[in-house]
Amino acid sequence: MRLLIIGRLGGHITEATKIAMARGAKVSQVDAVELGLQALRAGQGFELVMVDLASDVPGLITAMERERINTPVVACGIENDADAAVRAIKAGAKEYVPLPPDPDLIAAVLEAVAAENNEVIFRDRSMTEVLELADRVAPSDASILINGDSGTGKEVISRYIHRKSRRSGAIFVSVNCAAIPDNLLESELFGHEKGAFTGAVARRIGRFEEANGGTLLLDEISEMDPRLQAKLLRAIQEREIQRLGSNKPVKVDIRLLATTNRDLSEEVRKGTFREDLFYRLNVVGLRIPPLRERPDDIAALSTHFARQFASANGVEFRDLSTAALDMLKQHHWPGNVRELENTIHRAVLLSQGPEISVNAIHVPGLAGQAAILAQPDEQGNDTQSLVGRTVAEVERDLILDTVSHCLGNRTHAANILGISIRTLRNKLKQYAQEGVQVPMPGAGERLSA
């Protein structure tokens, strides 16, 4: 764990630093937000930022979002500074840690960040075969292309491969190619010099340089513009990059992983993905099966998420009833593990009694949902309750129910609905303007149209 602490080394901050180091974290400390931003831009691979509430926490998070620095931020401050803590959380801080620091709380925060995308929970034979192949190829430096539907756990498997590789002691860097506009992705990958383009306020080390010596994951690489694919191919072949605004080549030593939710061989045939880049990436191919093909994983994942969210929300752990598990196994899970995670999170919050019952399980379109679904027709389709309603009304209710099911997380809801995040935001904006109550954005998501 690489931790950056922003704040003056007074007594409490010094104590927090010592606790983190005792728990195995590699800690760097700077006094001010601007110095912290300089450290983040320098590509030192920080996995967590802990910032004193006496600093400009909202300004830090705004600057990080503007420069697409995705490191999670935890705020810390004296216990009676409630207003500042609320402002920090509203600005986007993941957690608030009161000072003086509690060793167990600091350890829990570090462990939560370290484990957030790392655990591989599985019981199904199909996933056993995936992990066996991953174990065989992880020690090599071969590029690996990981294919699977959205929400199946492609990044989790990528991190697993990194931990099993000879580079496990070095950094793992992930870039979501689908989340960054085409005109900014080149800078994200290769970095830039100050003044290279409008908004380049300082030199920024790109992800290739940041991952030097470790592993670089290009998530959803099928979304990359063909023009940038050519530059990526050259970087892979030459093992060197050039920052935007510079003509000086920089050598890099990385292990490259890539993920996609599309059939890249079909994209090659369509001319939207370069054939030579495809073969560079696909030295080894791994396919992650969708959750509907992994029925034995549903119970294991559900129990894992129930424990995780009970702990995170400070409520008593409840196991799932047999009827609830049976109902979960009936669902097609178009959003895969991510959809199941959201479903269990909601169930943990709604559940009453000794177990998580079917009444706490809410999944749009799930047949057999307790006392909620209308009687199905002869073909097993729930259509009778829709007669007399307009398509626009049905669409609106489906969208709002799905967003609510995802606890306000627009990205997850869009994946489940099979629409773009932009389309979803436009729909929600329209509903809000019509006076319909729209669920607030989930944690970590900004309110936008």
Q: Is the pLDDT of residue 53 over 80?
A: yes
Reference 338, options 181, 209, 151; nearest CA is: 151
Please tell me the distance from the alpha carbon of residue 28 to that of residue 11, in angstroms, as a whole number: 16
- Give the residue-averaged pLDDT of 164-169: 92
d(CA 201, CA 97): 31
Checking if the pLDDT of 348 tops 80, the result is: yes
Pairing of the two strands 144-147 and 255-260: parallel
Distance, CA of 159 to CA of 164 (rounded, Å):
9
- The number of angstroms, rounded, from the C-alpha of 388 to the middle of its chain's C-alpha atoms is 40
Give 449's pLDDT tier (boundaries 50, 70, 90): very low
With bands split at pLDDT 50, 70 and 90, how would you rate the model's confidence at 126?
very high
Is the Cβ–Cβ distance between 417 and 402 less than 8 Å? yes
Condensed to tens digits (0 to 9), the pLDDT of residues 268-279 reads 999 999 999 999
Place 145 in a pLDDT band, splitting at 50, 70 and 90.
very high
Closest CA to 40 of 69, 72, 68, 61: 69
d(CA 328, CA 50): 38
With beta carbons less than 8 A apart as the criterion, state whether 211 and 173 touch: yes
Q: What are the φ and ψ backbone dihedral angles of 400, each rounded to 5 degrees?
A: -65, -40
Evaluate if residue 410 carries a pLDDT over 50. yes
Maximum pairwise Cα distance, the chain: 71
Number of H helices, E strands in the chain: 18, 12
Q: Which helix (H) or strand (E) is 351 found in, with range?
A: none
Distances (CA, A) of 112 to 99, 146, 339: 19, 25, 20
Are the C-beta atoms of 294 and 127 separated by less than 8 Å?
A: yes
Threshold 0.75, pTM exceeds: no
User: Taking Cα atoms as reference points, which of 151, 163, 160, 174 lies closest to residue 130?
Assistant: 160
- What six digits make up the tokens of 39? 């450290």
Tracing tokens 């606790």 back to the chain, one arrives at 19
Q: Are strands 240-242 and 249-251 parallel, antiparallel or unpaired?
A: antiparallel
Q: DSSP code of 134?
A: H
Residue matched to tokens 């908004």:
199
CA distance between the termini of the chain: 35
Pairing of strands 2-6, 48-52: parallel
Which segments of 191-238 does DSSP mark as H helices, in order?
A: 207-210, 226-238
Check pLDDT > 90 for residue 92.
no
Partners of 23 in the beta sheet?
A: none
Angle at 320 (CA atoms; ends 319, 323), nearest 5 degrees: 150
Query: Which domains does the chain possess?
Result: 2-115 (3.40.50.2300), 125-289 (3.40.50.300), 291-383 (1.10.8.60), 388-449 (1.10.10.60)
Q: How far apart are CA 318 and CA 334, in angstroms?
A: 26
**Which whole number is the average pLDDT over 81-90?**
74
In 249-314, DSSP assigns E strands to 249-251, 255-260, 284-287
Give the CA dihedral 237, 238, 244, 248, nearest 10 degrees.
Answer: 180
With pLDDT > 90 as the criterion, what percentage of the chain qualifies?
39
- What pLDDT score does 248 carry? 92
- Which three-class secondary structure state does DSSP give residue 345? helix
SS3 state at 11: helix
Does residue 237 or residue 19 have the better pLDDT?
237
Q: What value, to the nearest 5°, has the Cα angle with vertex 87 and ends 84 and 93?
A: 105
